[in-house]
A = this chain, B = another copy of it.
Amino acid sequence: MLYSEVEFPVRYYETDQMGIVHHSNYIRYFETCRSKMMAENGYPVERCEEEGTLFPIVSIECRYLYPARMGDVLTVSAKVEKKPLAKFTFEQEVRNQRGEVCARGTVVVGFLDKKTGRPCRCPEGLASLFDE
């Protein structure tokens, strides 16, 4: 299993005229935490891309439970339980500074060979993190 967290304050431009964080930003928060997870485990996204593997999003599902607001400090988490073969499945969550869950979601990410443009398997080193 891999698990990562990242903490950051809400940015003003992320709010909308309802006075809360616009729902599309949670999708971006999820990504920010996945990037951190990749880097923490020695596979920064940008290096994987350079070495030939792209990570296209296959699907996203998100439930919005509690609005985040300007002034909040959010903790975003990402968890991968199963060893990825053709796909990565991330369980993701956004909590505020009081521990309230703002959003919870699942993101499925595929692997694409940059040269051929075709789906490929998870890079071996990345998959092997799950063997430990």
A42 adjacent to chain B (CB < 8 Å): no
Known pairs A11-B28, A69-B46, A71-B46; A60 contacts B61 (CB<8 A):
yes
For the residues of A in contact with B, the DSSP-based class is mixed
Q: Is the CB of A49 within 8 A of B11?
A: no
A130 adjacent to chain B (CB < 8 Å): no
How distant is the Cα of A22 from the Cα of B31 in the complex, in angstroms? 11
Q: Which one of B24, B39, B46, B71 contacts A24 once the chains associate, using CB atoms below 8 Å? A: B24
List A residues 12-62 near B (Cβ within 8 Å). 12-13, 15-20, 22-25, 27-28, 31-32, 35-36, 39, 44-47, 49, 54, 56-62
Q: Is the CB of A70 within 8 A of B58?
A: no
Cβ contacts A to B, 21 pairs, < 8 Å: A8-B8, A9-B35, A11-B31, A11-B32, A12-B16, A13-B16, A13-B24, A15-B17, A17-B19, A17-B46, A18-B54, A23-B60, A24-B24, A24-B28, A24-B31, A27-B60, A44-B71, A56-B67, A58-B64, A60-B64, A61-B61
